[in-house]
Amino acid sequence: MKKLMVMMAMMAMCLGACTENSDNKRIEVAVRTLISQYPQATLQDVYKSFYQERFGPGHMIPNVENARNYLMSETEQATENTGAYYEPTGSEGKYVRIYLNAVSDGKISAEQLLDAFVESANHVEPRNDKWADQWNKIVDVIEEKKIPVTMSEELKQLLKECSEKEEAVHHSETYEKAYRPHYRIVEHNIFEKNLKAMLE
């Protein structure tokens, strides 16, 4: 009996280690992909991508009517060709950024995107772990794997403080100037069901 308990404990430890290694690999791949696609991205933009995956779009919707008006106004400015109409956030595939040129190009309507955006705000799943712990892990992976992300000690400290307060951040100034991002966050299953076919 004691031998069985020891074996079960060892299996649990192995499973935990395997899961952690898998998580770390997903984080590494996601960060490297982001930096490859957006060379002007900084640690602040990495934070934003993973934060959006963690918290979804809920923090950006004070009320639906304001969200509709702002979306219509911003769509008029979204003339940049991003090269894709959508892309995943973070490393877990829970949310997708839908670029507003999908609306200006007539692939989807503003109302379709707004509906998906608002519905997604109600799909944020509570988690037991702290965002600050998750963010520390992401930074550890970046440093351990020597991923070439632009950062400074001052920025690292600022983002650490933001993570402890679970605060959102804007894109970095360099990212904004280089890519002029205009998008909305949509939960993955809602995207798959309602939008993906029209954006292929």
Per-residue pLDDT reduced to its tens digit, 29-38: 999 999 999 9
Evaluate whether residue 35 is within a structural domain.
yes
Q: Are 124 and 140 in contact (CB under 8 A)?
A: no
Evaluate whether residue 175 is within a structural domain.
yes
What is the structure's pLDDT at 42?
Answer: 98
Both structure tokens of 14: 């192995």
Evaluate whether residue 173 is within a structural domain.
yes
Per-residue pLDDT reduced to its tens digit, 63-86: 778 778 878 888 887 766 667 899
Task: Please give the residue range of the domain that contains residue 30.
Answer: 24-199
The angle formed by the CA atoms of residues 104, 107 and 108, to the nearest 5 degrees, is 85
What is the structure's pLDDT at 16?
Answer: 46
Q: What is the pTM of this model?
A: 0.85
Q: Please write down the long-range contacts of 3-10, taking CB distance under 8 Å and 24 or more positions apart.
A: none
Evaluate whether residue 104 is within a structural domain.
yes
Evaluate whether residue 162 is within a structural domain.
yes
Evaluate whether residue 176 is within a structural domain.
yes
Lowest-confidence pick of 80-94, 136-150, 153-167, 183-197: 80-94
Q: Widest CA span of the chain, in angstroms? A: 69
The Cα–Cα gap between 62 and 51 comes to: 18
Evaluate whether residue 30 is within a structural domain.
yes
Evaluate whether residue 3 is within a structural domain.
no
Torsion angle in degrees (nearest 10) through CA of 44, 49, 51, 53? -170
CA distances from 105 to 7, 54, 76 (A): 58, 29, 11
Q: What is the mean pLDDT of the chain?
A: 86
Q: Are 79 and 142 in contact (CB under 8 A)?
A: no
What is the structure's pLDDT at 126?
Answer: 77
Both structure tokens of 21: 């290694």
Number of domains in the chain: 1
